Amino acid sequence: MCVLYLLKHGSHARKEGGRIVVESEGGEHHRLPIHGIDCVIAGNHAQLTTETVYALLDGGIRLVYVNWRGETQGVLENGKESLARLQAQMRYFGNGIHQVELARAILQRKLRAQSDLLRQYAAKAPCHLKSAAVEIKRLRQEIPRLETIDQLRGQEGWAAKIYFDAFPFLLDAERWDWPGRARKPAHDPVNALLNYGYAFLEREVRLAILGAGLDVRIGFLHANNGRKDSLVYDLMEPFRSDIIDRFTFRLLNYHKVCPEDFDWNEERGCHLLPETRNLWISEYEQFLQKPMQRYDGQNAREWLRSYVRGFARDVLKAARAELLHSCD
Domain enclosing residue 267, as ranges: 83-327
Q: Are residues 178 and 196 in the same domain?
A: yes
Q: Are residues 94 and 148 in the same domain?
A: yes
Q: Are residues 111 and 246 in the same domain?
A: yes
| Helix axes of 230-239 and 96-120: crossing angle, nearest 10 degrees | 30
CA gap 213, 39 in Å, rounded: 17
Q: Are residues 110 and 243 in the same domain?
A: yes
Amino acid 24: pLDDT: 76
Amino acid 326: pLDDT: 62
What is the SS3 assignment for 170? Answer: helix
E strands, 190-244, are: none
* 185: preceding bond cis by omega (within 30 degrees): yes
| CA neighbours closer than 13 Å in the CB half-sphere of residue 163 | 23
Angle at 311 between CA 305 and CA 313, to 5 degrees: 100
Amino acid 328: pLDDT: 53
Q: What is the pLDDT along the chain (328 residues), one digit of tens a residue?
A: 678 888 887 788 888 888 898 887 766 678 889 888 888 888 888 889 999 998 888 888 888 888 877 778 888 877 655 678 888 899 999 999 999 999 999 999 999 999 999 999 998 888 899 999 999 999 999 999 999 999 999 999 999 999 999 999 999 989 999 999 988 889 999 999 999 999 999 999 999 998 888 889 899 988 776 667 899 999 999 999 999 999 999 999 999 999 999 999 888 899 999 999 999 999 999 999 999 999 999 999 999 999 999 999 999 888 888 876 665 5
| CA neighbours closer than 13 Å in the CB half-sphere of residue 313 | 6
Domain count, the chain: 2
Q: Are residues 43 and 178 in the same domain?
A: no
Contact 93, 211 (CB under 8 A): no
Model confidence, pTM: 0.86
Final residue in a domain of this structure, among 36, 51, 76: 76
Element (H, E) at 128: helix 126-142
| CA neighbours closer than 13 Å in the CB half-sphere of residue 2 | 12
Amino acid 26: pLDDT: 66
Q: Are residues 125 and 17 in the same domain?
A: no
Q: Are residues 58 and 114 in the same domain?
A: no
Residues contacting residue 320 through CB under 8 Å, at least 6 positions apart: 88
Q: Are residues 11 and 72 in the same domain?
A: yes
Q: Are residues 313 and 175 in the same domain?
A: yes
Amino acid 226: pLDDT: 62
Q: At 36, which CATH number?
A: 3.100.10.20
CA gap 257, 248 in Å, rounded: 10
Final residue in a domain of this structure, among 42, 76, 110: 76
Q: Are residues 26 and 150 in the same domain?
A: no
E strands, the chain, are: 2-6, 12-16, 19-23, 29-33, 37-42, 47-48, 62-66, 72-76, 262-265, 269-272
Q: Are residues 164 and 65 in the same domain?
A: no
Amino acid 36: pLDDT: 86
Q: Are residues 122 and 209 in the same domain?
A: yes
